[in-house]
Structure 1
Amino acid sequence: MEITEVHYVTPAHLELLLEADPSKDLVEEYLDRGTLWEATITGKIVGVIAIIPTRPETVEIVNLAVHEDYRGQGIAQELLNYILNEAKRSHYRTVEIGTGSTGMTQLYLYQKCGFRMTSIDRDFFVRHYAEPIIENGLVLKDMVRLSQDI
């Protein structure tokens, strides 16, 4: 697997990004402000991760998605580890990430990679998304914020 920075967002990138975040407006907003990387296997895009700087020494992972045919193979963990190293190399001290409170797989992965829960943004998804998001059979309302000092 190869991880490289993306300089031109293709429909394949956008499709993956929208799997993790159904708001095209929000996705386009943070792509304008941040950096996108792709994971490829034999030329096929199998995962993406996007970050934006939020404060002087802090960067936030705003999107992480893996193509459904490649899930469960450690790609998300490799993308996270790559970004943690990239952030450290770029002299950031903290990496943050937010995820839905109903995303048990994501919460497990982020903690496995060293992130710690810092707060809950109550009703985040109610405030920022016009349509309800259903995840694991529950209406998603709250965002769990996690961070890691690097």
Structure 2
Amino acid sequence: MTAHALTCQPWPVEDLPLALLLLADPCQDRVHQYLPHCQALALVDDGQVLGAVLLLALEPDRVELINLAVAEEYQQQGLGTCLLKGAIAWVREQGAQWLELGTGAFGHQLAFYQRQGFRVTGILKDHFIDHYPEPIYELGIQHKDMLRLSLQLRSPGDH
């Protein structure tokens, strides 16, 4: 199985494994808050969800990528990139102008999104301190601030 053999497809949010979503957002209460309002895309192999992305429409021209997760045993195989590219294409097809997201201020996630053209558009100071009951650490460093990133999918005059 390779990422090239899989396609990113719409998937019912209620059929996504919670354990998978918690890999990207460790706060179960937060996941339960946004999950019912999201559209889901998944990478599925023989009925098994290997990865998923949750998208939330903010406005007709703006969509937020809320959660992107790949099952631990399938990480580092290109599935995350496949999911992200699939989400970008899907959001573009829906007619949105912008795809936005929030991520930690350091670590591999930042480079992952920047490789696909996302740009930093803002900083939410102390976001992870104020909105999560437990500290979140990566590479031994506590996440405190959230970077807001945006990708322009089309120019305002494009249709």
TM range (shorter): over 0.9
Partner secondary structure for residue 117 of structure 1? strand
Cα 1:40/1:69, change in 2 over 3 Å:
same
Who is 1:38 aligned against? Answer: 42
- Map 1:1-150 to 2 at 5 A: 1-10=6-15, 13-102=17-106, 104-150=107-153
Asked whether the 8 Å contact 1:13–1:48 carries over to 2, the reply is: no
Cα 1:132/1:46, change in 2 over 3 Å:
same
CA distance in 2, matches of 1:90, 1:72: 29
Displacement of 1:51 in angstroms is: 0.6
Superposition TM-score, scaled by structure 2 size: 0.87
Partner secondary structure for residue 145 of structure 1? strand
Instruction: After superposition, give the CA deviation of every residue in 1:118-145 in whole Å (9 maximum; x if it has no partner).
Output: 1111100111011111111011111111
Bigger CA radius of gyration: 2
List runs of 5+ in structure 2 lacking aligned partners: 1-5, 154-159
Q: Runs of 4+ in structure 1 displaced over 3 angstroms? A: none
Partner secondary structure for residue 8 of structure 2? strand
Asked whether the 8 Å contact 2:54–2:68 carries over to 1, the reply is: yes
List runs of 5+ in structure 1 lacking aligned partners: none
Instruction: After superposition, give the CA deviation of every residue in 1:59-106 in whole Å (9 maximum; x if it has no partner).
Output: 00000001111111111111111111111111100000111113x211
Partner secondary structure for residue 22 of structure 2? helix
Instruction: After superposition, give the CA deviation of every residue in 1:19-63 in whole Å (9 maximum; x if it has no partner).
Output: 110111211111111111211123321101001011230000000
Structure 1 vs Structure 2 CA RMSD: 1.3
Identical pairs, percent: 36
Asked whether the 8 Å contact 2:13–2:35 carries over to 1, the reply is: no
Displacement of 1:8 in angstroms is: 4.9
Superposition TM-score, scaled by structure 1 size: 0.92
Partner secondary structure for residue 9 of structure 1? helix
